[in-house]
Amino acid sequence: MEKELKKHYRVCNLCEAMCGLEIIHDGYKVIKVKGDKYDPLSKGSICPKGALIDKLHGDPNRLKKPLLKKENGEWEEIGWTKALDIVGEKINGIRKKYGNDAIGLYFGNPTVHNFGIMMMAGELKRVLRTKNSFSASSMDQLPHHFMGYYMFGHPLNIPIPDIDRTQYMLIFGANPVASNGSLMSAPGISKRLLAIQKRGGKVVQFDPRRNETSKIVDEHYFIKPSTDVYFLLGMLHLIQKYNWIKLKHLKSHITGLEKLKDIAVAFTPEKVANITGVSEEVLKRITEEYALEEKAVLYGRMGMSTQEHGGLCNWLSSVINILTGHFDTSGGAMFTKPAFDIKRATVFKKAHARWYSRVSGLPEFEGEFPVSVMAEEMFTAGEGQIKAFITHAGNPVLSTPNARRLEEALPKLDFMVSIDVFLNETTRHADIILPPPSHLEIDHYDLIFNLIAVSNNVKFSKPLFKKPKEQLYDWQIAKGLIKRFAKVADRKPSRIFQWLTPRQLLNLGLLFGPYGKLSHPSRWFSGLSLRKVVSSKHGISLGALQPRIPEVLLTQNGRVNIADSIFLEGLERVKKQFVMHPYQNLLGDEFLLIGRRHLRTNNSWMHNVEGLMKGKNKCTMMMHPVDAENLKLTNGQLVNVLSRVGKIVIPIEITDSIMPKVLSIPHGFGHAKEGTLLDIANRPENAGVSVNDITDHNRIDVVTGNAAFSGQIVKISEVL
């Protein structure tokens, strides 16, 4: 007798796009996954990751019970109460002996895709009271948060391209077709970009590589890595020179305009062209087209953020959007209005440089230090040295700059616990692993990505499958640890977080949110509640982006701080480099390194899904044919790639899609390490090498502390 097939609707929680899924199942296993055509945001779009989300759920390597490492290095399954008690005892013992800062805390990329742990993460930090907190943000998006904080008053006040109404889109250092939109949740991004062209608009891209997005844009131009800041200053030079300034309704909401008057005078098109590799003609024409178009937007992402001037690039992008009248208006850069606003702030709160790291003296931001100092805080003896480490859903042994240092540091810790579903390159060093349920066994609501979506929407996903009765959700693990850690804290656990579940907390947020039933008497019958959102099944559209200034501003003066001193001081360093840039005279064996994103991967978890890893080798080093010929190298040949901190051996992929004197290597690889349990990822054809064995931890964006992966100088030599 055949089992009855059912349909389950949910949001894919693997990347930023928030695609709606229609999952056909029989109650026990998934039969097929399709895009939900009735989802108001994604409208049926789906990528290979979402289509194979059940493969992560059914991965035979996925851990389901707590693991304790025995003295001989073997793993033993233990019960949850015992596991949590051991963690509490060990962590508290270290805190009593060495102080709270002896505990390091790291949240990986998947954390932000997990509704339950996101609700509890702040409380976990509060009871631990450690200054040594880290996350993937400082390898990725910290410059965006700096811009949001210093310009608009909050790290989550990040403007989003109004892509569905713009007529002219400039893209710097981004590959949204592969990322599904990053810090711009835009499922079906290819269709959205093509729609700009269909309505008579234009899309222009600047990137050192012709990537997947380049195939559908109107114009693509190579730009040297880490020189975006000069191009943007060249644009600002022209905008001011020809007075293409129209502040519109923002005029009375901006402070600091006078400080921008002369900052771009020296950045003439001729000088900018010499550094960026983009011609004067292109700079002049593109700037004029953009500035004079009524509905236009400038957007930049990873390539613009993960470089030595990432903070300035993100600041300048907003400055240019504002000055040209392309901000807080239809078709420009706008702020989303989420149904549940995780910011929960009504006034400005200081979030930078309240304390500094012990060794390098780098300032915290939002309570976190840059990951570049994580290993040195473990290695360097003295008060505040990290003695124990807690990780959640992260693999920093593969993802952080000069990750070999971290790999050497972890075994020397007194104790380590990982909340993770895999025994991977990082968690193999843990003393205890606490595995939460799979993506399909949990509630889901996008707390962060609804803040940066290209339209206002709300959707809640119930679990498809019930978790094993004895297994704990991420938030239950966090609650158990919070209860135990609070025993040596000066403050007790917050009652609201101890008494209420994440689902109940979300309901309160929706009820009192901007669209909620309890936010205004007029919404008592029509407003949102969790019940209403759940019953909608496919989600609810809350409309297109609308102007939000001054409502959204949380700065001390209630205005847009367009020229904060932190950016102006950083600009002085750029001016000095402008005279003699280090990239102008590379030697024959020297190249500039950039990263690469694959549509089929988002983090190293994906590398253990066979359907996502099929096809040709993804871990290659792209090189331009002219460079290969000059060095007498052939396609597929193994070469050494060397930097100040290390060396890797990787096969060449010769292609004219990469700019001359630039190399591209993807991140997240470097599997097949001893002690891991990743059958698919560890296969020789999938393992690859870790680019972060050669990235330099000392290369950071001085303004923000973000890792400067892009634009590092490396050398090439033949494997003898």
- 364-390: per-residue pLDDT in tens? 999 999 999 999 999 999 999 999 999
- As a whole number of angstroms, the distance between CA 196 and CA 546 comes to 19
246 backbone dihedrals φ, ψ, rounded to 5°? -145, 100
pLDDT at residue number 53:
96
Task: Give, in order, the Cα–Cα distances in Å from 654 to each of 133, 519, 588, 621.
Answer: 41, 58, 17, 8
Copy the structure tokens of residue 304.
């613009």
144: left (phi over 0), alpha (psi -120 to 50) or beta: alpha
CATH class of the domain whose range is 586-718: mainly beta
- As a whole number of angstroms, the distance between CA 357 and CA 481 comes to 25
pLDDT at residue number 603:
83
Tell whether the model's pLDDT for residue 579 goes beyond 90.
Answer: no
Check if the beta carbon of residue 425 is closer than 8 Å to that of residue 670: yes
| Measured distance between the N- and C-terminal CA atoms of the chain, rounded to whole angstroms | 63
Copy the structure tokens of residue 370.
């840059």
pLDDT at residue number 496:
85
- As a whole number of angstroms, the distance between CA 115 and CA 50 comes to 18
- As a whole number of angstroms, the distance between CA 63 and CA 392 comes to 14
**In the chain, pLDDT over 70 holds for what percent of residues?**
99
Copy the structure tokens of residue 492.
């007790």
State the average pLDDT over residues 146-156. 98
| Omega cis (within 30) before 176 | no
153 backbone dihedrals φ, ψ, rounded to 5°? 95, -5
Shortest CA distance to 23 belongs to which of 59, 42, 50?
Answer: 50
Shortest CA distance to 509 belongs to which of 640, 339, 650?
Answer: 339
**Whole-number CA gyration radius for the chain:** 25
Q: Does domain 162-335+553-571 have CATH number 3.40.228.10?
A: yes
**Contacts of 432 by beta carbon, 8 Å cutoff, 6+ apart:** 66, 67, 68, 69, 83, 86, 87, 416, 417, 418
Q: What is the DSSP letter of 467?
A: P
pLDDT at residue number 585:
81
- Domain ranges in the chain? 6-57, 63-157+362-444, 162-335+553-571, 586-718
User: Which amino acid, 350?
Assistant: K
Q: Is 572 exposed, middle or buried (0-12, 13-18, 19+ CB in 10 A)?
A: exposed
Check if the beta carbon of residue 34 is closer than 8 Å to that of residue 490: no
77: left (phi over 0), alpha (psi -120 to 50) or beta: beta
pTM of the predicted structure, to 2 decimals: 0.97
Fold of the domain built from segment(s) 6-57: N-terminal domain of TfIIb (2.20.25)
Tell whether the model's pLDDT for residue 145 goes beyond 90.
Answer: yes
Tell whether the model's pLDDT for residue 1 goes beyond 70.
Answer: no
Check if the beta carbon of residue 459 is closer than 8 Å to that of residue 539: yes
Q: Beta strand pairing status for 363-365 and 621-623?
A: unpaired
More confident residue, 498 or 282: 282
Q: What is the DSSP letter of 87?
A: H
- β-partners of residue 116 are none
669 backbone dihedrals φ, ψ, rounded to 5°? -95, -175
CATH class of the domain whose range is 63-157+362-444: alpha beta
User: Model confidence at 2, in pLDDT bands (50, 70, 90)?
Assistant: low
pLDDT at residue number 720:
83
Overall residue count recorded for the chain in this entry: 720
